[in-house]
Every structure is written in structure tokens, then in C-alpha cells.
């Protein structure tokens, strides 16, 4: 089926030999979850790592080549190998990862393992998977572990961020420490939230400037392809020497460990639970929002990325668009979230029972004000996730919109000019004038400089004056469907779309049984890679010089033209387009002329972009969307349709990590072991079904496969049989927070833990980042050992009453589960 020229996955390489049966599967992961839900997500991450390595063995690589297999993983690893062979799945590649909050930590560990070419859980360890041992040992609410020691008063936070940071550092330092491993391409995005003033400039339709607060921080770590290039123009005519081989590896080098640890620590810095962390210059160099040149020294304090950016889909989708396909490829965008959807914002609990449209005026019928307040606090998070998912849905629809058939039009134009672009070139020029300017504005806005993000630009730009300029992204009048003056007058976006169009058509031809020449295919892919390198260089140059960008449209366009021409971008793009056209003609064969290929590709560009090129350049690629959550059935215990329905309905109720404000799994080792195992089971069900054909015979066989794999997993991780696992899952559906606290208090160790956590919270309240003076007052009235820094004269008398009531309440926490609460 023909593809849109914007679709990156249309790119192919010489390795896509005709007749290849196994299809490579690429996973782009977006991991979102906070606090102790990290344990469930750790189980998911472990299973994904097993799958990616098992698929390579299924495709013919040796076990030694994938880092070996730990004995406790042997049964499940072999099962994944078998499934990949049966489903005719090629290598399963994890090449894009984004993590927020606790997802930032798990994502960082997995991406580091991929980039360094090592298993997340190498063989030779004792006591089960390494990542599980991290959560079992490190994530314990004990003094000297996650819980700060009592000697420190006042506490800067409830939990010990320094201990957490050191634990992360040890894990990252231990990955691939022996060296000699071949890393694989991967891009990692981690989010954080900056404290202090932070704005981005905007311009309305009447030219008025205004600022919008934007405290989001996004960081990118890349390990590029081994054959990656960087653009460095030289003198004379453009040739291959302008692109130098360059391996970018942000996971290696003297500052890599510090940047990775800081990113993971910052993204998971749940406010008050952990202290904020300073960004530092090492992490600042990897910042993409705002651009790295902004605040180079990294003096900002950072907290949990989930405060503002729950699921950073947009950078992931752009990274997907940059990844060249290596033959037949299936892309899955996997949204890993430990809930039945977005965690409740409180809105669904704020209204009275019955959800009546007209609430009587009686006070008892109005929503509880605490529920309303909780809902209001959660609204921004709901809106952020909703916007991200809607953005993904829009790009998914765009990637699947192939009915226009650009490649069909390309072949028709190659056979004989169709006239499809006749009369549209002037309209195309107008659209590209605005779209190119908006590209410049958007790049400048990432540096918080320049004219800002322009709203409704088509209505504010003086097109006539703009078109009078010699713009490097607009072909001058009379150019027709030729490259134009200087070898290429159509700009960066058009050059990239042309290369993608040619690559996409070659891939379609291969899929339809033709045998395009592999050398020619390689030339097209190489040209596309070089165009992207030119775009990167131009963007970096504009960001570096952003402070000098004029605000007025025409002047800004002229300023951008100077920098684009200083980099000799038009000459470089001319070289790339000609290379792609030659490669295409060579791959297709016959008597195709390079000039005819360029003309036909430009006809498709004008016909398809004349009325859509007003927007900024945006990559997309075909993908399928998979939300991987706990609301999935487990075939080893859910043997009927009713069982499966209830399992999906009550999915996140089976997790300890969703209880006690998402901190419960930190309470007991067996609770963490349960959530870890649940993460593995949920990943097995979701991923096995996504990789397998959807037919009755396969579904039956897959149910049996999952039952066997999940039985083995539960036995290996928990030492239980299916009946015991099902019984505990059933019990968890009705267990509340008070019940879990009661379980803790039923042991002397748990009782000590509850008291220690309450004390730690009391000592953290006076912090300026917590409640400041109000927190100090609460500390004076409630704490067992109040601070002496400030004490109003009436406090001693009030403390006698307030402290007594507070102690009665805390002593009663969880007691009703053991009959000690009235």
C-alpha cells in the first residue's frame, strides 16, 4: 500500500533482501509512574529486556552474543525464543525510551543496558533478577535506607535522596563495566520540572508579545547508529567529505555517569518525599527543552518530571521518525502506565453518589470540599496526559492516512507528467514562506529567544514582503519543478520529504515482489541521513545565535537566511537530493534519468503540500499504539471470559503500589516482590499478544503459552502455585489503605516503621519547600520532639490538646484491621 512521503519507516537499507520472512519489531517505550509503582514498572522493564535479547537468539544470534542468560530467567527466556520463532518475529529492538518520575529511573537503566550492549540482568547473580534485588534492598522504608536517620534534624525531606542517588550510581556504573561490548542505537528522554521563573515567549495574531510559564525540562541521551554522520561543510563544491563519521554516545564518557544519575534522580524527585536536585552542567548539556545553550551552568533545582509532563510522547514520535528502517519493520509505541488509564485525578470521587445533574441546596448533598480540592490539584496532570494521547492519536491517524498515494503519484509522474502540480506552485510558495518562517520561530522559541512562538502566523505575516526576499526555503518564481538556483532552492523540509518519498517507494516495490538494487537503496538511505545532519547543524546554529534574532518577520527571515547560507546548506542539500535521485534510478533500473526523478518527486511535493505547508516541519512514521497496564487478564488463572473481564476491570487493584498515596510497595519486601511479579505477568500478556497473529488458532495456542510462562514466572519469583496467586489477587481487590497499615502494625518492625515515617514527615514539614512557617507550627504542636526554632507563647497549652488528639489518631491508623479501633 502506498505511503505518505512524511513516513520515516518508508526508509529501507541494503539489508532488506528480497524474500526476508522475519519482520523486525521496534519498541518505543513511554514509561509513566511514580513512587513505589516503580517496582511494578521494574518487572515490566525486566520482561522487555528478556524479550529483546531472546528475539536475537531466535533470529540466529548466540546466547553469548546477547550477554548470556541468568539461570532464574532460563525458562521464560527459552519461551520467548520459541514464541518469536513461531510468530515469525525478527529481532525485537528497543530503540526509543522516555521516562517520567519513577519511569525515568527504570527507563534510564534499560536504555543504559541497550546503549552499552549488556543485559539488564546479567548471568551470575544470586537471588533472582538484579533489578528486582535493587528494589528489594534499596527501596526499603528503613532508617539508613530510603528513610532518613533520626539524628538529622530538621530533615530536608522525608526520604533520603542521597541514598537513592548513590544506589542509582552504583547500578549504572556496574553496567558493562568490563567493556568489550557492542552497544546498540537508542535514544532516551527523561523529564523533570524546574523550580524558579521560567517562561517561553509567544506572539498573538496582532503582533503582541506575551509570556507563558513553562517549567518543563526534557533531557536526551543518544547512542547513534555506528554509521552516523555529522555535517561539517568545507570549501569548493559539496561532496561526501562534508559529512564526517560520528558516533554520538551520551552513555559513555567522563560526564555520562553523572548526567544519567542526575536525570534519573531528578525525574523521580517526588516533592517533599525527596529533596530537589541541582541540574548541573553535565545534565544541562543534554537538555533539549529549553535548548542546551539556555542556562548552560545548570544552576536550576529540579523536581519530579511527572508534576508537569506525565507522558512525553512528542519527542518520542520525532525520534521514531528519525530511525531508518532496515528492511520489513513493525513499530509499536508502548505506553507503560500502572493504572487502568490515567491515575484518578479525584474528579470521579468528588461528586455525590448518583452523579446527579442538579444537586439540591442541602449541604449534605454537595461534593465534599476535600474531594473537590483533590480534583483541582489533579486537573493539570489529567490535561497533560490527555493532550499527549491526543497528540499521539493525531500522528497515528496521519501516519495511517495513505489514501492520497504519494508514491502512486510518483510512479505516474515518472511514466509521464500528470499535471497534478499545475497551477499550484504559487500557492505552494506562499505556504512554504510561512511554514519556513514558523520553523525558524519554533527553533528560536526552544532557546527562549527571538520573536517567540507565533500564533496564527498565516494571518500576521506580510506575505508579499516576505516573498520579495530570497528565502532559502522558497523556490523563486520561474523555478518550475527543477532544483532551482544554487542547486537547491526548496529548503530543508522539502529535501527530507523528497528523500523519504524515494525511500518509501523503493520499500513498497520490494514488498510487492520487485527487487530494487541494494546499492541504490543504500545511496537513498545515506542521502536521507545526510539531510538530517544538515538540519541538525542549522538548528544548532540558530539556537546558538538566537539572542540576535530580530522580532520582525521579514528581518527574522533575512537573519535566518544568513546563517543557513553561512553553513552552505543549499549546496549540501543539492548534493543529497542528487545522490538520492541517482540511487533511486539505479535501484529501479531501466533508463530513468536523475533529472526526471527529481522533477517527479517535486511534483508530488507541490501537489501534496500546497495547502498543508503552512505549519512547522513535523516528522511522523507509521506505528501501532499499545497501552501496557495492569488491567489485563492472566491466562494461567483467568480461564473463563468472566474471569478475564473481572481481571481487566480490577487491574490496578492488584498492586500494592497504587495504595497509601503510591508508597505502599515500599513497606514490605513481599509487597515489592508481588508488584514486581505482577509487572512481569502483565508485560508477558500484552507483548505476546501484540507480537502474535490475531486468529482463533493462534489465540488458543497463545493462551496455553501464556499459562505455562506465567506459572513458571510466579513459581520462580514468589514460590507460589496459580491457586495461591489467584487467592491473593482476589483479596487485594477489597483491601484498603487502612488494612495495609494494619498489616504493617501487626509486627514490631512494622510498628516501628509507621512511627518512623510519621516522625520523618513531621520533621520535614518546616522546610521552605514544604509548609515553611505553617509547617513549623504543625511541628510544634504535633511532633514528638518539636523544634525550638519558633514557638508562639500559646503553643505549650495548645500542644497538650492537639498533640493528644494527633497521637490518638496516629495510634489508630490501621488498628481496625486487628480489632483495636472503635
Q: Looking at the annotation, which residues are catalytic?
A: 101, 304
Residues 4 and 695: their CA atoms lie apart, in Å, by 29
528 neighbors 580 (Cβ within 8 angstroms): yes
DSSP state of 341: S
Query: What are the cell numbers at 503?
Result: 525511500
Which of left, alpha, beta for 814 (phi over 0: left; psi -120 to 50: alpha)? left
- The sheet with strand 453-454 has its strands ordered as 209-213, 199-203, 453-454
Would you list the DSSP string of 564-599? HHHTTHHHHHHHHHHHHHHHHHHHH-TT--HHHHHH
For residue 167, count other CB atoms closer than 10 A to its CB.
21
Query: What are the cell numbers at 427?
Result: 500557492
What sign does the dihedral 398-404-407-410 (CA atoms) show? negative
What sign does the dihedral 497-498-503-508 (CA atoms) show? positive
Residues 715 and 75: their CA atoms lie apart, in Å, by 11
Helices 491-511, 425-446: axis angle to 10 degrees equals: 110
129 neighbors 42 (Cβ within 8 angstroms): no
279 neighbors 261 (Cβ within 8 angstroms): no
All residues at 6 or more sequence positions from 70 whose CB lies less than 8 Å from its CB, including other chains: 119, 121, 122, 123, 124, 125, 129
Helices 369-400, 313-322: axis angle to 10 degrees equals: 20
| Three-state DSSP class for residue 28 | strand
Residues 773 and 345: their CA atoms lie apart, in Å, by 29
> What's the Cα-to-Cα distance from 551 to each of 207, 458, 473, rounded to whole Å?
10, 16, 19
Of 411, 402, 398, 400, residue with least CA distance to 601: 411
Element (H, E) at 101: strand 89-101
Residues 762 and 483: their CA atoms lie apart, in Å, by 70
All residues at 6 or more sequence positions from 640 whose CB lies less than 8 Å from its CB, including other chains: none
All residues at 6 or more sequence positions from 315 whose CB lies less than 8 Å from its CB, including other chains: 98, 189, 218, 220, 288, 289
Of 506, 396, 498, residue with least CA distance to 10: 506
Amino acid at each position: 500500500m502506498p505511503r505518505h512521503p512524511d513516513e520515516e519507516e518508508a526508509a529501507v537499507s541494503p539489508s532488506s533482501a528480497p524474500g526476508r520472512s522475519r519482520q523486525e519489531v521496534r519498541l518505543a517505550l513511554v514509561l509513566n509512574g511514580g513512587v513505589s509503582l516503580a517496582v511494578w514498572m521494574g518487572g515490566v522493564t525486566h520482561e522487555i529486556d528478556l524479550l529483546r535479547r531472546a528475539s536475537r537468539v531466535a533470529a540466529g544470534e548466540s546466547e553469548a552474543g546477547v550477554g548470556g542468560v541468568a539461570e532464574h530467567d532460563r525458562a521464560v527466556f527459552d519461551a520467548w525464543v520459541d514464541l518469536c520463532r513461531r510468530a515469525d518475529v525478527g529481532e525485537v529492538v528497543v530503540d526509543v525510551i522516555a521516562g517520567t518520575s519513577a519511569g525515568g529511573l527504570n527507563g534510564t537503566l534499560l536504555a543504559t543496558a541497550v546503549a552499552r550492549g549488556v543485559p539488564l540482568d546479567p548471568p551470575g547473580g544470586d537471588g533472582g533478577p538484579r533489578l528486582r534485588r535493587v528494589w528489594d534492598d534499596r527501596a526499603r522504608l528503613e532508617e539508613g535506607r530510603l528513610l532518613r536517620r533520626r539524628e538529622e534534624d530538621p530533615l530536608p525531606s522525608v526520604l533520603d535522596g542521597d541514598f537513592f542517588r548513590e544506589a542509582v550510581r552504583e547500578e549504572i556504573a556496574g553496567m558493562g563495566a568490563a567493556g568489550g561490548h557492542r552497544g546498540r542505537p537508542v535514544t532516551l528522554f527523561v523529564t523533570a520540572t524546574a523550580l524558579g521563573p521560567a517562561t517561553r515567549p509567544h506572539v498573538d495574531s496582532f503582533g503582541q508579545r506575551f509570556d507563558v510559564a513553562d517549567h518543563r525540562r526534557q533531557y536526551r541521551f543518544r547512542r547513534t547508529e555506528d554509521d552516523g554522520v555529522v555535517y561539517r561543510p568545507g570549501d569548493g563544491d559539496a561532496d561526501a567529505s562534508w559529512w564526517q563519521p560520528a558516533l554520538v554516545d551520551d552513555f559513555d564518557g567522563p560526564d555520562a555517569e553523572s548526567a544519567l544519575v542526575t536525570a534519573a534522580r531528578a525525574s523521580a524527585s517526588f516533592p517533599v518525599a525527596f529533596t530537589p536536585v541541582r541540574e548541573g552542567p553535565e545534565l544541562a548539556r543534554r537538555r533539549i527543552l529549553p535548548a542546551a545553550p539556555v542556562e548552560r551552568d545548570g544552576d536550576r533545582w529540579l523536581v519530579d518530571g511527572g508534576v508537569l509532563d506525565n507522558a512525553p510522547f512528542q519527542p518520542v514520535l520525532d525520534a521514531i521518525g528519525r530511525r531508518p528502517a532496515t528492511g520489513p519493520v513493525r513499530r509499536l509505541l508502548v505506553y507503560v502506565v500502572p493504572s487502568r488509564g490515567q491515575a484518578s485525578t479525584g474528579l470521579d470521587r468528588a461528586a455525590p453518589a448518583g452523579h446527579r445533574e442538579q444537586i439540591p441546596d442541602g449541604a449534605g448533598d454537595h461534593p465534599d470540599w476535600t474531594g473537590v480540592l483533590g480534583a483541582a490539584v489533579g486537573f493539570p496532570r489529567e490535561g497533560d496526559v490527555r493532550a499527549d494521547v491526543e497528540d499521539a492519536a493525531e500522528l497515528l491517524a496521519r501516519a495511517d492516512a495513505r489514501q492520497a498515494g504519494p508514491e502512486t503519484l510518483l510512479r505516474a509522474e515518472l511514466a509521464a507528467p500528470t499535471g497534478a502540480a499545475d497551477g499550484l506552485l504559487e500557492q505552494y510558495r506562499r505556504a512554504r514562506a510561512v511554514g519556513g518562517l514558523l520553523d525558524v520561530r519554533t527553533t528560536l522559541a526552544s532557546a527562549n529567544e527571538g520573536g517567540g512562538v507565533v500564533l496564527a502566523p498565516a494571518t500576521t505575516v506580510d506575505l508579499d514582503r516576505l516573498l520579495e526576499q530570497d528565502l532559502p526555503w522558497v523556490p523563486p518564481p520561474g523555478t518550475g519543478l527543477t532544483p532551482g538556483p544554487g542547486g537547491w532552492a526548496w529548503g530543508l523540509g522539502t529535501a527530507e520529504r523528497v528523500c523519504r518519498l524515494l525511500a518509501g517507494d523503493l520499500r513498497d516495490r520490494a514488498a510487492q515482489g520487485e527487487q530494487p538494487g541494494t546499492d541504490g537503496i543504500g545511496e537513498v538511505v545515506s542521502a536521507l541521513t545526510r539531510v538530517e545532519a544538515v538540519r541538525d547543524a542549522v538548528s544548532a546554529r540558530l539556537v546558538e545565535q538566537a539572542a540576535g534574532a530580530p522580532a520582525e518577520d521579514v528581518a527574522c527571515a533575512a537573519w535566518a537566511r544568513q546563517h543557513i547560507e553561512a553553513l552552505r546548506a543549499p549546496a549540501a542539500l543539492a548534493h543529497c537530493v542528487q545522490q538520492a535521485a541517482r540511487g533511486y534510478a539505479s535501484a529501479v533500473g531501466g533508463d530513468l534519468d536523475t533529472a526526471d526523478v527529481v522533477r517527479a518527486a517535486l511534483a508530488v511535493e507541490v501537489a501534496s503540500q500546497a495547502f498543508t505547508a503552512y505549519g512547522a516541519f513535523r516528522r511522523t512514521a507509521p506505528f501501532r499504539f499499545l497501552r501496557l497496564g495492569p488491567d489485563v487478564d492472566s491466562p494461567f488463572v483467568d480461564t473463563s471470559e468472566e474471569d478475564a473481564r473481572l481481571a481487566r476491570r480490577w487491574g490496578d487493584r492488584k498492586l500494592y503500589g497504587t495504595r497509601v498515596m503510591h508508597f505502599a510497595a515500599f513497606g514490605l519486601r513481599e509487597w515489592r516482590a508481588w508488584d514486581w511479579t505482577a509487572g512481569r505477568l502483565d508485560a508477558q500478556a500484552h507483548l505476546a499478544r501484540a507480537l502474535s497473529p490475531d486468529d482463533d488458532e493462534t489465540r488458543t495456542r497463545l493462551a496455553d503459552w501464556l499459562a505455562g510462562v506465567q506459572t513458571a514466572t510466579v513459581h520462580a519469583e514468589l514460590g507460589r502455585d496459580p491457586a495461591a496467586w489467584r487467592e491473593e489477587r482476589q483479596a487485594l481487590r477489597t483491601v484498603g489503605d487502612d488494612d495495609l497499615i494494619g498489616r504493617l502494625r501487626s509486627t514490631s518492625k512494622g510498628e516501628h516503621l509507621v512511627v518512623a515515617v510519621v516522625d520523618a514527615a513531621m520533621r520535614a514539614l518546616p522546610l521552605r519547600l514544604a509548609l515553611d512557617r505553617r509547617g513549623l507550627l504543625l511541628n510544634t504542636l504535633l511532633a514528638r520532639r518539636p523544634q525550638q526554632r519558633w514557638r508562639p507563647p500559646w503553643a505549650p497549652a495548645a500542644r497538650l490538646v492537639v498533640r493528644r488528639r494527633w497521637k490518638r489518631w496516629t495510634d489508630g491508623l490501621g488498628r481496625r484491621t486487628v480489632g483495636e479501633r472503635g
